[in-house]
Amino acid sequence: MNNYNLPPLLQTIEELHQEWNTNVILTCFIEDKLVGSVRGTINKDGICSISKLIVDPEQQNKGIGKALMAAIEKEFAHCTKYTLFTGSDTPNTFYLYCKLGYKETDRQTNNGITMIYMEKENNPLL
């Protein structure tokens, strides 16, 4: 996105530690190199928030993002709904989420960045 003012890039060490303590963080390695990651957490209403799906640009379009999403959804298979957001400047990520069944629910622009909010219903009893 060529924007270095995104919240994940501005996190403090303390914020990262707190996130580590409150989120499930899944990673993907090829040999000894970290090539992907995704995070998820569930709130008291049973809604899973998925965040920070990342894939090394050299490893994109190889199924890593799709596999990480499947894994985080499996980790929270008991939730009622999955929610996430992505930037409008990342159309490949938006396309991936649409292919995985996520529907756009809102768009918000702040500081010149448009975020697309998406969700997917889950029926944990099926």
Give a three-class secondary structure readout of the chain: CCCCCCHHHHCCHHHHHHHHHHCEEEEEEECCEEEEEEEEEECCCCEEEEEEEEECHHHCCCCHHHHHHHHHHHHCCCCCEEEEEEECCCHHHHHHHHHCCCEEEEEEEECCEEEEEEEEECCCCC
pLDDT tens digits, one per residue of 74-94:
999 999 999 999 989 888 899
Q: How confident is the model at residue 121 (pLDDT cuts 50, 70, 90)?
A: very high
pLDDT value for 21: 81
pLDDT tens digits, one per residue of 41-80:
999 999 999 998 989 989 999 999 999 999 999 999 999 9
Average predicted confidence (pLDDT) for the chain: 88
pLDDT value for 16: 73
pLDDT value for 9: 56
pTM of the model: 0.85
